[in-house]
Amino acid sequence: MKITIKVVKELPDGSADVELDYDQEALEFMIERGLNALLVEAIMTEQTGELYGISDILGTLPKKGSKRRSNKSVAKIKSGGTD
C-alpha cells in the first residue's frame, strides 16, 4: 500500500486542502475505513443519542486482519465542539 501526500495547503479556518497520490490497495483501505467509521458513528448515535467524532471512531476500529476490537473507548463530543 502506498499513500503519498503531494500538496498541503493550510486554510485560514484551520482546515487544509491535501493532494494525495495512492495505489489501488490504499484506495480500498481508505474507503473501507471511511465506510466503517460512518456505520459505527450511525450505530452509536442511534443507541446513545450522542454525537461522536470520526477520529474517535477510527481509533476503535480493528486493524486489517485483526479479529479483536480495540480496547479504546470512544469519547463523547461536548455540544458545540468540533472534530
Within a domain: 22: yes
Domain assignment of residue 73, yes or no: no
> Would residue 83 count as lying in a domain?
no
* Assigned domain for 80 exists: no
Segments forming the whole domain that contains residue 58: 1-6+18-65
Quick check: 20 and 3 in contact, CB under 8 A? yes
For the chain, the domain total comes to 1
Query: What are the pLDDT digits (tens) for 34-58?
Result: 999 888 888 888 887 777 665 565 5
For 20-35, write each residue's pLDDT tens digit. 999 999 999 999 999 9
* Dihedral sign, Cα of residue 35, residue 23, residue 9, residue 59: positive
